[in-house]
Chain A
């Protein structure tokens, strides 16, 4: 069993905000207990999968390790009870691709998969470039100082993804606020109560109220797109059929919610984290500035560096062996992506930010059937932004202490103050 101190660190929202604490804990685990069970107070026991190779092994076998049988996100015993009481026994408040297994996962993913293939995203590049250029222009007009997270990184991917979904620009602030309340539900700076969450019931109630606000919004959008279909993602979801039938209500709402939250928040975190890392490693910025061909390397390294999704849970559907350990049917496993992406067996100098890192086979998008649907869009958004920004950015440095969100599921920087010179 993993020692209590380590177990409580790797689930602590504050440790992820600190960064180093969680890195140190995972470094210890990879060396001493790369696959072992943890049982922090208030939680059911779960296996902590820390090594890159073992994460791939679990993700590859999506019939043996299910997403939906228990909560797909780490949750306390009390919170799990609350959710099941609300949801008729289901451990999920929403039912998106993340909570599904086959055959539903395959059928629901197929509905939108084509829209996110690289060859089909090409049609969006010109419009994404316009949005990026506007973001860079706004940054230039700020007089050489801004919070890059708040003023650029949060807004640019939001605008792109909301256009893809079909959400009007006037509703973007609302979508951003709801997203931050959802993923930042443990962060007093971002959550709905403005206070530290100490009570499981209050925590679940808060998240559920955010989910209900999303559902109210997207329910109206479904009605609209059924009456007036357009060429947007909302129309695909609203008019989609699974085995000849319209999507279930919960599944349709969950599809919108995942697109409207994870669809931009993860890219925002990575973009903000990249800028933070470049500010701390100016020689890396110089390399990319002088050789824009390195932008592709910067993107992959930023995704590895930030790893905005900190974990997903899986449940064993049968007795299994993994890395020499006996996993029993029904066991819960935590896939620790930040740990996999710092695995010394795969990455040389894993704590060094290196835009020339090659190969860079990070697991930040996951692996196997559940690999991130929007990964090609995320890469394109970042490439276009960096192309536009670096053409005008001459120099920059930190202008205060950056801060990261207090969260243990999906998170990244929440403030990256910078001073800069642009042409």
Chain B
């Protein structure tokens, strides 16, 4: 048993819905629980928090929170979790400061590992402290809710679609803070989402869930490049690559990002050389050629090997999994092109990448 991580096994029987999961999750980083609405993501999170009582087993970092075999079930308030609900759940009768202090002052002194100042600074809510929740914008409220969850020094942070109730602009306002959490936090974070862009940007690990069952669970790079999973991302199908800024070209405002197995020239996002960045390459932005093309506007052309070919959501298209050295890539091409090029696993091709997004 991996004592550092999370072991969760639940079976929840509701009329018309069954949640049946058995998961091993890493004890660090952000694990996205991804699936459509109604797939059981939130139910899983609530079971882990103890807000829902489902038969099963749960241990976090070696501590058993639930074990039916010995009739152990810690009530929510005795579990060292932080929970951020989908819509703001701030106490309306308390100021932001007193909302933040609510959980903190219920902690034993020895359990206070996160200072209030740190949480306030990390979420940038210093100017809001004396206000009542009713006087905050939706984005501000969610930032306060995240800070409040952090302030109880949780051993596990749970977030249930914290951005779902916000418009695009507010999302953009919060995402950088979540990114900071990711970089600074040493506890695992389970992040429920149905938004592929959030998942691609934040997650280290991915649990894909559908109709109450786990379809796949593992490192995000690995899961997103698997073709055998019916993860219906549609237009959002693509891979993420972890890279490092290796060079910046001031003349053309480009930056070179090196990853295991290759390098891309991308738009310079302002990160200094040596800074880790995450790249997202959508399958629709990757085209294939048998020879290296010249006289093309495409900047990033790399040799790759075809690993696997699988049907796409539309019958006209196929998804082609490639290997760029140690990194996977997925290309979406028409079936006709695949036939014309005679694509087959093992073939060497040139991958032409039209767009690479730098996501933090």
Real complex partners, A and B? no
A residues at B contact (CB < 8 Å): none
Taking Cβ atoms with an 8 Å cutoff, the residues of B that contact A are none
